[in-house]
Amino acid sequence: MAEHVILFTGPMGAGKTTAIEKLSEIDVVRTEAANTERQVADKATTTVALDYGEIVLDDQDKVRLYGIPGQRRFDFMWTILKERAKGMVLLVHNDADDPIGRAVEYLDEFADLYAKGGVVIGITRIDIAPGPSVTDYAAALAVAHPDKIVPIYTVDPRQRDQMRTLLMTLVANIETRDMFVERVPQREELVAE
Amino acid sequence: MSIPAHLDPQVKEHAARVLAGMREFAASMIYAAVLTDDGFEVADYSDGRTDASRMASMSSSVQALSDAVARELRIGTAEYVIIASDQGHVLQRRVPGQPLVLAALFDTYETLGKAIAVSKMGAQRMAHSPASEPGPAPAPTAVPEPAPADPAPIVAAVPPRDETTPRSIYAPPVSASGW
ipTM: 0.85
* Average confidence (pLDDT) over B82-110: 93
Look at residue A123 and give its three-state secondary structure: strand
A117, A107 contact by CB (below 8 A): no
A155, A162 contact by CB (below 8 A): yes
Look at residue A158 and give its three-state secondary structure: coil
Best probe of the A interface among B37, B38, B81, by most A CBs < 10 A, is: B38
| Cβ distance of A73 and B53 shorter than 8 Å | yes
What pLDDT score was predicted for residue B24? 93
CATH code, domain with A97: 3.40.50.300
Q: Which residue has the higher pLDDT, A192 or A65?
A: A65
What pLDDT score was predicted for residue B150? 42
B140-172: burial string, b at 16+ Cβ within 10 Å, e else: eeeeeeeeeeeeeebbeeeeeeeeeeeeeeeeb
Looking only at Cα atoms, what is the longest distance across chain B? 59
A52, A32 contact by CB (below 8 A): no
What pLDDT score was predicted for residue A15? 96
Burial of A86 (0-12, 13-18, 19+ CB in 10 A): buried
Mean pLDDT of chain B: 79
Look at residue A61 and give its three-state secondary structure: strand
The alpha carbon of B70 is separated from its chain's Cα centroid by a whole number of angstroms, namely 22
What pLDDT score was predicted for residue A186? 58
**Chain A to chain B Cβ contacts (< 8 Å):** 64
Please state whether beta strands A51-57 and A61-67 pair in parallel, antiparallel, or not at all (unpaired). Answer: antiparallel
A→B contacts (Cβ < 8 Å), by residue, are 29-38, 46, 48-50, 69, 71, 73-74, 76-77
What's the gap in Å between the CA of A141 and the closest CA on chain B?
A: 31
CA torsion sign for A68, A70, A75, A79 is: positive
Domain boundaries, chain B: 5-127
H or E element that contains B150: none
* Average confidence (pLDDT) over A156-178: 93
The Cα–Cα gap between B61 and B95 comes to: 16
pLDDT digits (tens, 9 = 90+) for A108-132: 999 999 988 899 999 999 988 788 9
Q: Which domain covers residue A148, as residue numbers?
A: 2-192
pLDDT beyond 70 at A191: no
A8, A89 contact by CB (below 8 A): yes
What pLDDT score was predicted for residue B3? 87
* Average confidence (pLDDT) over A134-145: 95
* Average confidence (pLDDT) over A135-159: 95
pLDDT digits (tens, 9 = 90+) for B148-166: 444 443 333 333 334 343 3
A21-30, A108-117, A176-185, B95-104: which has the minimum mean pLDDT? A176-185
The Cα–Cα gap between B165 and B17 comes to: 21
pLDDT beyond 70 at B146: no
Give me the number of domains chain A comprises. 1
Q: Which residue has the higher pLDDT, A130 or B63?
A: B63
Class of domain B5-127: alpha beta
pLDDT digits (tens, 9 = 90+) for B118-132: 999 999 999 987 766
What pLDDT score was predicted for residue A54? 97
